[in-house]
């Protein structure tokens, strides 16, 4: 019976003492999971399809007299070389007329910064429907290395 009491006394002494050991098993488990996640995702992020991207150069547009300048103001009005286009049907007729020319002139679209995208999109769709091959956008050049806003 005294051996039984001795065991209980040793157990009681352990309960009174503060536990100073840290269980590191959950920490190791989390670190291994993170290591596996990073080992799987890093190759996906760094490996992409090899593509030769074009170099960017900002050149001033050389406007030829035969190029067509279509402007869209912030109210959505469309101008053909500074003359107001009354409606969409008139724009389609004019685009149809230049689509048959050889060589086909370029269409340059200038849009006010405040115009709605649908107004510019309508002009682009009309040019596409009539078979215009070259459509470009005219913007103001930004500072070196900065995008135009």
- Note every long-range contact of 89-97, with CB atoms under 8 Å and residues 24 or more positions apart, other chains counting: 91/123, 91/126, 92/126, 92/129, 92/130, 95/126, 95/127, 95/130, 95/132, 96/130
User: Structure pTM?
Assistant: 0.55
**Domain locations in the chain as residue ranges:** 2-46, 68-138
The pLDDT value given to residue 51:
62
Q: pLDDT (tens digit, 9 = 90+) per residue, 16-62?
A: 677 778 888 899 999 999 999 988 887 766 665 666 666 656 666 66
Average pLDDT over residues 118-135: 92
pLDDT of residue 142: 60
Summarised one tens digit per residue, pLDDT across range 67-98 is 899 999 989 999 998 889 999 999 999 999 99
Domain made up of 68-138: CATH architecture: 2-Layer Sandwich (3.30)
pLDDT tier at 13, thresholds 50, 70, 90: low
DSSP-assigned beta bridge partners for residue 69: 108
Q: Specify the pLDDT at position 148.
A: 46
């Amino acid at each position: 019976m005294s051996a039984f009491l001795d065991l209980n006394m040793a157990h009681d002494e352990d309960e009174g003492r503060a536990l100073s050991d840290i269980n590191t098993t959950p920490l190791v488990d989390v670190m291994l999971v993170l290591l596996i996640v990073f080992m799987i995702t890093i190759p996906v992020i760094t490996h992409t399809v090899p593509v030769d991207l074009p170099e960017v150069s900002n050149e001033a547009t050389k406007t030829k007299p035969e190029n067509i300048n279509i402007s869209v103001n912030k109210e959505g009005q469309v101008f053909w070389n500074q003359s107001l286009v009354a409606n969409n049907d008139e724009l389609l007729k004019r685009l149809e007329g230049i689509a048959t020319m050889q060589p086909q002139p370029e269409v340059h679209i200038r849009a006010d910064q405040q115009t709605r995208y649908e107004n510019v999109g309508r002009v682009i769709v009309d040019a596409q429907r009539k078979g215009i091959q070259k459509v470009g956008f005219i913007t103001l050049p930004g500072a070196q290395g900065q995008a135009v806003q």
